[in-house]
Amino acid sequence: MEVIIRPTAAEAEKLTARIIADAINAKPEFKLGLATGATMENVYAELSRMNKAGEVDFSQVRSWNLDEYVGLAPEHDQSYRYYMNKNLFNNVNIDIRNTHLPDGLAADEEAEAARYDDSIDEAGGIDLWLVGIGCSGHVGFNDPGTSFSSRTHVAYLTKTTYEQNKIYFTPPESMPRRAYTAGVGTVLDAKKIVQLITGKRKAAIAAAAIEGPMTSMISSSALQLHPDTVVILDAEAAANLKLRDFYDEVFQNDPKWAAYR
């Protein structure tokens, strides 16, 4: 696991977008894993700007998202399909037919979850999965107690996750309590993982996930197992890291990060 700390959220977001854009440019037929949430909005805005400026080409990219609420139609303004169309897909030159999310209205939930994992496997796996972290330490909707070997499944959301997300719904009580989520094992199968964490409210859970013991009670801690994980934080989110000075030293001196400094 490599940890990069930038002074501000804006700088962390732009660095994340640059890493993704460079990876796509190096392999146009890229398989990209994506996340939703407020943390990612500025990343997608920057990728959209880069696309319009001719700095990255999405025409051959295929994407898969981490999750989708059970029971929401794609047109619902709180579905993750709606979010992705609004924040990224409608703003870049990606073929919408190459963008994949679980079907929140699928009649057979187990079959839909299996289909989703199969679609990733048939494509040859995810090249890079962009993820965030929830206040409970989850990646995707893999809330506390989820097995590190889990595959895509329907999860019942914890109270912490529900309270964190219901503010986006009108009325708040209309938020579904279940959602499809790529499993921890599904995420770990990606060739590379980039995790973006910003804001002081994430400082404690970021430190626990990055420097604490691996535990299913913090599903994000499983990223410690991955051979190519990059965690990008702003200064506020990095406030509780014990090895902060070391992470800064590596970023400033390792030649592979020279182009991003």
- Give the E-state strand segments of the chain in sequence order: 2-6, 31-34, 62-65, 67-69, 99-100, 128-131, 153-156, 178-181, 192-197, 229-234
Q: DSSP label at 138? A: -
pLDDT tens sequence across 144-158: 999 999 999 999 999
Q: What's the rounded Cα separation, in Å, for the pair 164 and 179? A: 14
Q: Which residues of the chain have pLDDT under 70?
A: none
Q: What's the rounded Cα separation, in Å, for the pair 108 and 257? A: 46
Secondary structure of 199-217 in HEC code, one letter for each residue = CHHHHHHHHHHHHCCCECC
Q: Are residues 212 and 203 in contact, defined by beta-carbon separation less than 8 angstroms? A: no
Q: What's the rounded Cα separation, in Å, for the pair 40 and 79? A: 15
Enumerate residues 6+ apart whose C-beta is below 8 A from 234: 5, 6, 7, 8, 9, 11, 12, 197, 198, 199
Q: What's the rounded Cα separation, in Å, for the pair 245 and 261? A: 16
Q: For the whole prediction, is pTM greater than 0.75?
A: yes
Strand order in the sheet with 67-69: 67-69, 178-181, 153-156
Give the pLDDT score at 96. 98
pLDDT tens sequence across 196-208: 999 999 999 999 9
CA-based angle 238:244:248, to the nearest 5? 105
Give the pLDDT score at 38. 92
Could you tell me the fold of the domain covering 2-253?
A: Rossmann fold (3.40.50)
Task: Quickly tell me which residue has 């399909």 as its tokens.
Answer: 81
Give the pLDDT score at 164. 87
C-alpha distance across the termini of the chain, in Å: 18
